[in-house]
Amino acid sequence: MSTTTTIQRVPVGTYTVDPVHSSFGFAVKHNGISLFRGQFEQVDARLEDGALTGTVQVESVKTAIADLKGHPILLGDASVGAFWVWLKAKYGYTEEQTRPYTFNLQPFFADKNTVQQGYPTSEPFVAQQAGFPVKFFLFAEDGYPPYGTTMVSTKAFVDRNPDVVARFVRASLEGWRSYLQNPAPANALIQADNPKMSTEQITFGVEQLRKIKVLDGGDGAKLGIGIMTEARWKATYDLAVAGGLIKPTVDWRAGFTDRFVKDLKLTM
């Protein structure tokens, strides 16, 4: 029995690599002992006259939060009693990893083994301007339960002024929606009040807020902008109790209400 193999010659020319079915991997040996392998998720490459060239987005490196265990982490004082509790409980981070964050990125730039806290609209922009591509981890994507930037009031004020509270909540949510739909008018006011705020930084911030769906992500996508759920508050309570931040006897249901937002159903 004999077989015949036919070799198909590919015409000379330029071919673009399909990013959906392609990946770019690399390997780094540390001190001649350990070998770390990685992969980039965003690849743009082409084959031209036998030569393969391309680029990768550095921030697309396939790394998980769990992989940061053992790395030095720069933290502000307020963070130690907040998301740090969650990181230790979920990923086994240790106190030996912590370093003080002085809101200066130079220590982060100086040591590529270091991790630091930051806002998606701020520190990544500073790093980008300095020529340091970074990968940002959004804790919410890994299940971090607490809400950010909540509207806070005393129960007594809410009970006495429900109409004022309702109008304030609605105006705030509609204001944020309007801003992300057309930020130009508000940006002009921001820069008039703070001339040091560059157009590049504001543009970066707006793009980040839209990218992470700060308004209409998570439950907000289905239940409306600004919604809060009992399930997420219960998860926050469980985290705080497990971390020793509050006592189990705390009435967590008394700490929030959705009465002013649940019927608004605001969407982008």
Within a domain: residue 1?
A: no
Within a domain: residue 268?
A: no
Q: What integer pLDDT is reported at residue 64 of this predicted model? A: 86
Same domain for 83 and 173: no
Same domain for 193 and 230: yes
Within a domain: residue 7?
A: no
Same domain for 250 and 159: yes
Q: What integer pLDDT is reported at residue 185 of this predicted model? A: 97
Collapsing DSSP to helix, strand or coil, 34 comes out as: strand
Reported pTM: 0.77
Same domain for 136 and 74: yes
Q: What residues of the chain score a pLDDT lower than 50? A: none
Within a domain: residue 262?
A: no
Q: What integer pLDDT is reported at residue 189 of this predicted model? A: 97
Q: What integer pLDDT is reported at residue 15 of this predicted model? A: 73
Same domain for 95 and 40: no
Within a domain: residue 20?
A: yes
Q: What integer pLDDT is reported at residue 133 of this predicted model? A: 86
Which one, of 36, 40, 44, 4, lies nearest residue 24 by Cα? 40
Same domain for 94 and 48: no
Collapsing DSSP to helix, strand or coil, 252 comes out as: helix
Collapsing DSSP to helix, strand or coil, 97 comes out as: helix
Same domain for 189 and 117: no
Question: How many domains does the structure of the chain reveal?
Answer: 3
Provide the angle, in degrees to the nearest 10, between the axes of the packed helices 199-211 and 184-193: 130
Dihedral sign computed on CA atoms, order 15, 59, 236, 230: negative
Same domain for 247 and 169: yes
Within a domain: residue 230?
A: yes
Collapsing DSSP to helix, strand or coil, 26 comes out as: strand
Same domain for 38 and 130: no
Same domain for 127 and 48: no
Which one, of 179, 174, 168, 186, lies nearest residue 225 by Cα? 174
Residues spanned by the domain of 85? 65-142
Is there a contact between 201 and 183 (Cβ–Cβ < 8 Å)? no
Within a domain: residue 148?
A: no
Contacts of 217 (CB under 8 A, 6+ apart): 140
Type of residue at 164: V
Q: What integer pLDDT is reported at residue 182 of this predicted model? A: 97
Same domain for 189 and 110: no
Q: How far apart are alpha carbons 67 and 146 in whole angstroms?
A: 22
Strands 73-75 and 115-116, by their bridges, are parallel
Same domain for 46 and 71: no
Q: What integer pLDDT is reported at residue 257 of this predicted model? A: 95
